[in-house]
Amino acid sequence: MTSHWCHADRQSLFDEIPCSVVVIDREFIIVDHNPAFADMFGAGVGRYCYSHTRGRQSPCQNCPAESTFQDGQRRVLEQNGRDCNGRQAHLLVQVTPIHDSGGGVEHIAVMSTDLTSTKRLQREYQTLFEQVPCFVAVLNREFRVVKANRMFRLVFGEPTGEHCYTLLKRRQQKCPDCPAERTFADGGTHTSRHIGVSRTGADTHYMVSTAPLLAGEESPNHVIEMALDLSDVHMLQQELDQASRLRETLVEASLDAIVVLDSRGRVRLFNQAAERLTQLSRDDVIGEKLPRGLLPTQVRPLLAGEVDHCLLHATTLTTAGGDTLPVRLAGVVLRDLEKPVGAALVIQDLRDITRLEREKLEAERLAAVGQTVAGLAHGIKNILTGLEGGMYVTSTGLQRGDSGRTKQGWEMLERNIGRISMLVKNLLAFSRGEGPKLALIDPGEVVRDVYELYRESAGQHGVHLQLGVQRSTERVVMDREGLHTCLANLVSNALDACLVSGVTPCDISLRLDERDNTVIFEVADSGCGMDYDVKQKVFTSFFSTKGAGGTGLGLLLTRKIVQQHGGTITFESTPGQGTVFRLSFPRDRLPRLPDHDHDGGAADQGRPSGRES
Amino acid sequence: MSVAPGRRPRVAVIDDEPDVLTFLRLALEDAGFEVLTSGSPAEVLSELASFGADVICLDLLMPERMGLSLFVEIRRTPSMARVPVVILSGLAGDALAALDTFGDLLPPAFCFEKPVDLGAFVARLKALAHGPHLEPA
């Protein structure tokens, strides 16, 4: 076969071949090389190859060229070397004998291909494959795991050719929606969610992606499968859903109206109770502003973001139908970090409570009237006794012609008739409910006055009267004299209880306290206490009054005064251990001064606000 | 503790109503009693002890409501622990019922509700003053 292939062509090939070629003789002296070699190691004809490429003084150990000179065999191997710039190079080296005409090997061609960048890519790929924080496996067409990354091996163990579905899902058959199958079919990338089973048997939620191992393969032989464990995310999602459902249920089930407004005053949440209370449909208000005038004006500072929260114990709400309802309202500004994003309002319908309160006050008033009548009857009986005495003294005086005695009897008659008319006036005053004389007073001062009043006489009876006044109790709007009467009555009762008990030393403590915005007066004794029967009778007889003297009406008066201030009187008593009487005045129920004369005094016309019938 | 022959029975009346005191003093004196009256329960105890009452008539509900304490103090005074006490009160029934609950003390012998039936009252006081008194069960 004739050929145009000539020496020039050979030389050209030698020069253009994209790998470095060097020819050495048996002395390892470079006899020729191509430009690619020169690019890598510099021109070096005539130099020892080990000296030129490696900087050595003697041939390398295990030199492949030496072996090839000996056996004439061609060799391929990978070597690490350095180029003329000192750069580490990973080389694929082919050592080829050049036979001379006699068949001997006098020269050898060494061809080197630089694999450095390929190797680096390989290493990077391997690192990525191993370290990526999800399960990565290579599957063959039978869906067997032929290679798995570190995380996969940690969880599922070293793969020994099991099916992917056995490892990840403990299944015996391929999954019906296998993304790997689709990738095998179309060479595309596919993603879907799967629920697998962990080694402990728990459900594990995966996001699975599959791709052909070699890009561009139309019908790939291997698929790389990546499964990301989303179980934690899934669990959080479920918890969030649950919390959200719970919140919705609670809000809807609440008996109190709950309204949430955004920063522009538009309704974001409006529960059923809010619909009932306002007579508005949530469909009409969600996303809209509430009708003007619905909320009390005191809420404005909250909605304007001027205050962080507000609590209106007794305010009103105007319904869509124009009714004004008594409500209690609590509001709080909602913040996202620091920025206000709206406000939440909880509104309690007070209609029932107000009605019950009114009924209770009325019942208490009726009971008080009944007890007053009993007390007055007692007073009347005393007067009748006085009248009877007057008649006896008058008539015996007349019989005996004793004018002094007759006069004495007549005076008794006059006096007791006078008392009857006073009693009737008192009765009228009581039943009319004369208002207390209100002023802003220091409750602690009244408590101390009563303490001083009784301290000495208590001491004389071997009773130790103690005073406990919380220093910071703010002033209250009350009838000073009325409060004094109440406390004096209670201390006097306690003294009696101590004297009767005969226990020495017997203690009475007179305390003033404030808890939950309620001013509390307490008179506790370690006296005889009361059993059930006495407790019943105490309220109908002992704590009643003689009535006629105008010095007060005992417990009835105490109760009436307490009631006029919106307060309650309660007691606890244990026979043989003592009794505690407690007067509680919630501040928000205390009467208000008629004008803003906060220094008190001129408040004769002061009436408790709306508490009297 | 019955009245010795020839001695007038002694009754102590404690009530804060001056007219009631006047009335009872005159009426009881007319009925033959030696009468000690007092309107102040706070000061009466020593007076009572030296008076040596055969029967004590006590209003339980006085303004300072010391009547109850006075009753207890009378009972705690050895010389008067067993002297019959008659309660005279506007609310006698309730008062007596409540007094039943005060432990070992000898309860009042009787309660009269005001206005008092003078005849029955005097008769009862005489009977009590002359004893013998029934001991409580």
Residues A363-401: tens digit of each pLDDT: 776 776 676 676 667 677 778 888 999 999 999 999 999
Which amino acid is it at A483? L
CA distance A132 to B103: 89
Residues in chain A with CB shorter than 8 Å from the CB of B102 are: 500, 528
CB A190 within 8 A of CB A228: no
Residue B61 has pLDDT above 80, yes or no: no
Residue B2 has pLDDT above 50, yes or no: yes
Q: Which two tokens stand for residue A23?
A: 């020819």
Nearest C-alpha of chain B: how many angstroms from A535?
10
Q: How confident is the model at residue A429 (pLDDT cuts 50, 70, 90)?
A: low
Q: Kindly state the average pLDDT of the residues A34-45.
A: 88
Note whether B20 contacts A382, CB cutoff 8 Å: yes
Residue B133 has pLDDT above 70, yes or no: no
Q: Kindly state the average pLDDT of the residues A87-108.
A: 86
Tally the residues of chain B.
137
CB B10 within 8 A of CB B52: yes
Q: Among A30-39, A275-284, A490-499, which stretch is predicted with the lowest mean pLDDT? A: A490-499
C-alpha to C-alpha distances, A591 to A311, A350, A441, A608, nearest whole angstrom: 19, 19, 12, 4
Note whether A392 contacts B27, CB cutoff 8 Å: yes
Note whether A381 contacts B72, CB cutoff 8 Å: no
Residue B97 has pLDDT above 80, yes or no: no
Q: Kindly state the average pLDDT of the residues A573-591.
A: 88
CA distance A354 to A225: 70
Q: Kindly state the average pLDDT of the residues A197-215.
A: 83
Residue A272 has pLDDT above 90, yes or no: yes
Residue A96 has pLDDT above 70, yes or no: yes
The pLDDT assigned to A410 comes to 93
From the list B17, B26, B95, the residue facing A382 with the nearest CB is B17
The pLDDT assigned to A600 comes to 41
From the list A384, A390, A500, the residue facing B69 with the nearest CB is A500
Instruction: List the single residue in A with minimal CA-CA distance to B66.
Output: A496
Interface test with B, best of A412, A525, A542 (most B CBs within 10 A): A542
E-assigned strands of chain B? 10-14, 34-38, 55-58, 85-89, 110-113
The pLDDT assigned to B72 comes to 83
Residue A438 has pLDDT above 70, yes or no: yes
pTM of the predicted model as reported, rounded to 2 decimal places: 0.41
Q: Kindly state the average pLDDT of the residues B80-90.
A: 85
The pLDDT assigned to B94 comes to 55
Q: Which residues lie closer than 8 Å to A338 by C-beta, 6 or more apart? A: none
Residue A402 has pLDDT above 80, yes or no: yes
**How do residues A311-325 score in pLDDT, each as one tens digit?**
888 888 888 888 888
From the list A377, A416, A499, the residue facing B90 with the nearest CB is A377
**How do residues A474-514 score in pLDDT, each as one tens digit?**
889 998 888 988 898 889 888 877 877 777 778 999 999 99
Mean per-residue pLDDT of chain A: 83
Nearest C-alpha of chain A: how many angstroms from B95?
7
Q: Which two tokens stand for residue A521?
A: 């007066």
DSSP secondary structure code for residue A201 in this structure: S
Q: How confident is the model at residue A102 (pLDDT cuts 50, 70, 90)?
A: confident
C-alpha triplet A266, A295, A285: angle, nearest 5°: 35
**How do residues A513-561 score in pLDDT, each as one tens digit?**
998 889 999 999 988 777 665 555 454 433 333 333 333 346 667 777 8
* Residue pairs between chains A and B whose CB atoms are closer than 8 Å: 111
Q: Which residues lie closer than 8 Å to A79 by C-beta, 6 or more apart? A: A90, A91, A93, A112
Q: How confident is the model at residue B9 (pLDDT cuts 50, 70, 90)?
A: very high
Residue A406 has pLDDT above 90, yes or no: yes
The pLDDT assigned to A275 comes to 93
- Using left for φ > 0, alpha for ψ between -120 and 50, and beta otherwise, residue A405 falls in alpha
C-alpha to C-alpha distances, A243 to A268, B36, B50, nearest whole angstrom: 18, 84, 84
C-alpha to C-alpha distances, A374 to A9, A35, A379, nearest whole angstrom: 141, 132, 9
